[in-house]
Amino acid sequence: MAGILAWFWNERFWLPHNVTWADLKNTEEATFPQAEDLLLACPLAFCIFCIRLLFERFIAKPCAMGLKIQTNGPQKAQPNAILEKVFTAITKHPDEKRLEGLSKQLDWDVRTIQRWFRQRRNQEKPSTLARFCESMWRFTFYLYIFTYGLRFLKKTPWLWKTKECWYNYPNQPLTVDLHYYYIVELSFYLSLLFSQFTDMRRKDFRVMFLHHLTTLSLITFSYVNNMVRVGTLLMCLHDAADVLMEAAKMADYAKCQTLCNFLFAVFAILFISSRLGVFPVWILNTTLFESWEIVGPYPSWWLFNLLLLLLQVLHSYWSYLIVKTACRAVCRGKVSKDDRSDMETSSDEDNGLLANQKPHSSATNGTNNKTHEANGYAPCTEEHH
């Protein structure tokens, strides 16, 4: 174990030339980032998750009820023992061959069976109320942490001159405010990583999971090798657009369409300009070129910049989704469905098919003859994160 730890914490990987871990030990005069500080993020992430549950129940939910957010979830699929067995035990997305077999067995047409599976999948999605509570929690946190970060950075020299991130690097003392900023951000994203498995699942689940891992890696690596100055710039830049994103979603859930459209437009402009403009010009420029000039490259420097470039790829992907949503909004006159949402919809033609379809006897298919109308889409207006 000692050998593995010595290999992992190899100074020649983590630190610039002629710098050792002994140079970054805490003294009475100065405090530096220590790897063991990050262990505090684990229990704090659990605390943040618990605070979220309390916030959603006692603050967000009453606000949603006051705004008359609907509490009911998607339309339930009509009971059918045969289809339910296939759905739970075999597949939630039957192929064409299985659909044809079920069609013959139930004497239903294929499109009605497809409709049933679509409704049944949507049935497992959270209600608009749950979505509003989740967005309100994220909005509150992003607003707090962005405000804190902005107030902190206004007092620092590296906000106005990014070369200050690298002068006397890595022998830059760690302040209490900077340490708090880092640990809270790390804890929040750690809680997001785990809550992603309990929150509503979206189409870009894997992309978001990759994003959270990349973010956690960047925060961890930048803390361990004391790149915290540029790290604070990166975190504050990302939190700015997230505030508007969650606000737009909340307005959408509350059916304040005009406000939603306005917030989404501002969010789209801010997101694309900050992630595709400011990020490469401001952040990548200082991490790739200014640091090369002042400090010079070393192994963890390459890894850090590789993660930043991966983050830029994710920014481009989400910018594409935002532009796609914006174009659809212009055509329809309003912001509508989130491209990341897994809430499935059906066409007007499908509505007619299900309404006109009359299943046969309950002895054959285990259902009654009552039909159901299609549920609407789940409105959402976000990139993410």
Portion of the chain with pLDDT greater than 70, in percent: 84
Q: Which amino acid is at 199?
A: D
Q: Residues 186-201: what's their mean pLDDT?
A: 84
Average pLDDT on 18-40 reads 93
Q: Which residues pair with 379 in a beta bridge?
A: 337
Burial-class residue 159 by CB neighbours within 10 Å (0-12, 13-18, 19+): middle
pLDDT range class, residue 35, cuts 50, 70, 90: very high
- Provide the whole-model pTM: 0.79
CA distance 165 to 231: 9
Rounded mean pLDDT of the chain? 85
Please compute the mean of the pLDDT values over residues 250-270 and round it to a whole number: 94
Q: What per-residue confidence (pLDDT) applies to 200?
A: 65
H helices of the chain, where?
2-8, 11-14, 41-55, 61-66, 81-89, 96-106, 110-123, 128-153, 176-195, 205-224, 228-253, 257-273, 285, 291-294, 299-332, 348-356, 362-365
Closest CA to 322 of 230, 231, 260, 384: 384
Structure confidence at residue 73 as a pLDDT band (50, 70, 90): low
pLDDT value at residue 221: 92
Q: Which range, of 4-18, 48-62, 82-96, 328-342, averages the lowest pLDDT?
A: 328-342
Question: Which pLDDT score is estimated for 379?
Answer: 37
Residues 90-132 have pLDDT tens digits of 888 899 999 999 999 999 999 999 999 888 888 777 788 988 9
